[in-house]
Homo-oligomer: A and B are copies of this chain.
């Protein structure tokens, strides 16, 4: 197996973007629990994200969600983030909370509604210019709940038109990433339900249009690492929304439900040249911390990605290829499992200390007093949430 020392340079380059909304309250349709210390503003979210980065060295950027993170002055927000050691990352649009979008946004039959949704994306692009963001991420709630409610085919055509209008507006250094999702909030058909649809749509746009793969957005049993390998092969994997799930889009902490699956995904990322400074693939989290504390929830998440990345980097590729070519099923599987079963936590802890980071970020955060501080400081005001 590859030695830990030989992979530290690669680990050092790892960056995982945090979603601003992970620091706000979230929940299910049944209940959203609030917790002391929850941010009221995007600035407080950024402060929390910076805390994650300070403890882990893994999270140098934070993604924005518009309008949840709307401010008057985005250049000032960029500076604020910079002062906290962070850059602003992907801008996420939102076309699912305005009454106008009840029956669709970019796919709506009404041209006026479509234009409203397109204009919202234009606003996001303007924000990106101010924040220095590269990626415009589009996740659509568009879909229908009942057979016959909408015209599946026509909606797809209108989606293509709307996306073309948006794509035309993005800058030469910017990218459009289109996320797909199996279902929810639409329960009969979803307009971008699978990687094939996202791939077909972005392929029609151009080189700077890519697919976003959210690890919780697939049908039961779907082999996600296959999709990773395929999209990398096709040159269309733009970014990951990491999280984990046992059932549907549970949005649990990445790696919590099936760490072996996360390992396999990361192995295919590395195998397909999707990892490293020259890779076009952005790593992001997209999670909900419904019952657990949010900041340590994010710390745990980036650590899970780091730990599984380390294991995946440890795979002895040469031996693996030889066993595969020999038809040695158990041997090949054993080589992969050997890396997965290797406990990298001690090595990672020691290496973190050489970089001026706490050996145990979870313990360090717990000992830092930050949680008590924000619980005390952030009294009053309206805690951030999804605004559903």
By a beta-carbon cutoff of 8 Å, the part of chain A in contact with chain B is 26-33, 96-97, 99, 102-103, 109-110, 141, 144-153, 156-157, 182-185, 187-190, 193-197, 199-200, 218-223, 225-227, 229-230, 232-234, 245-248, 250, 252-253, 256-261, 264, 268, 271-272, 290-293, 296-297, 300, 307, 320-321, 323-325, 327, 329-330, 332-337, 340-343, 345, 362, 386, 388
Q: A183-B221, A233-B156 are in contact. Are A188 and B148 (CB under 8 A)?
A: no
- Contact partner of A28 among B196, B268, B337, B388, CB < 8 A? B388
Residue of B nearest to A103 (CB): B327
- Contact partner of A300 among B248, B271, B330, B342, CB < 8 A? B330
- Contact partner of A150 among B252, B296, B297, B324, CB < 8 A? B324
Q: A221-B182, A246-B221, A329-B145 are in contact. Are A188 and B150 (CB under 8 A)?
A: no
Bound: A261/B223 CA distance, A: 17
Residue of B nearest to A268 (CB): B152
- Contact partner of A199 among B103, B196, B219, B220, CB < 8 A? B196
Q: A188-B246, A341-B345 are in contact. Are A268 and B388 (CB under 8 A)?
A: no
Q: A30-B386, A329-B146, A336-B148 are in contact. Are A223 and B187 (CB under 8 A)?
A: no
Listed residue (A223, A329, A337) with the most chain B CB atoms within 10 angstroms of its CB: A329
Q: Nearest Cβ distance between residue A336 and chain B, in whole angstroms? A: 3
Bound: A334/B333 CA distance, A: 27
Q: Is B149 touching A332 in the complex (CB atoms < 8 A)?
A: yes
Q: A145-B329, A219-B220 are in contact. Are A151 and B321 (CB under 8 A)?
A: yes
Q: Is B259 touching A148 in the complex (CB atoms < 8 A)?
A: no
Residue of B nearest to A211 (CB): B196
